[in-house]
């Protein structure tokens, strides 16, 4: 996800880690990406209606990110706002 990559790059820059060894930066990016995705996934599971979970799980198997995002936008009220809150909280925690 391009926007997520940009978000992580900005956090690394804000933390002053962008001048580290490229291998170290790559590992930091990987770790941050995993952490952010875990937070977003937890938010999804918490907010998706239980009766929609089976359909959502089938959609995940398709690996069609556009279809998945569209489904989440329709299924979870204020989905984009909830993602933005998760990202802001993650950034604040990491940079503190």
Residues 61-87 pLDDT 10s:
888 989 999 999 999 999 999 999 999
- pLDDT score of 27: 96
pLDDT at 48: 96
pLDDT of residue 1: 55
Write down the pLDDT at residue 63: 85
- Say if residues 12 and 91 touch (Cβ distance below 8 Å): no
Compute the average pLDDT of residues 6-14. Answer: 95
Range 46-53 average pLDDT: 94
């Amino acid at each position: 996800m391009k926007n997520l990559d940009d978000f992580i790059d900005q956090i690394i820059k804000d933390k002053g880690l962008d001048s580290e060894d490229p291998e170290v930066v790559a590992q930091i990016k990987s770790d941050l990406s995993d952490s952010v995705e875990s937070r977003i996934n937890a938010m999804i599971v918490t907010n998706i209606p239980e009766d929609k979970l089976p359909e959502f799980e089938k959609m995940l198997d398709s690996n069609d990110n556009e279809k998945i995002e569209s489904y989440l936008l329709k299924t979870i009220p204020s989905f984009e706002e909830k993602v933005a809150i998760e990202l802001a909280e993650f950034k604040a925690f990491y940079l503190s």
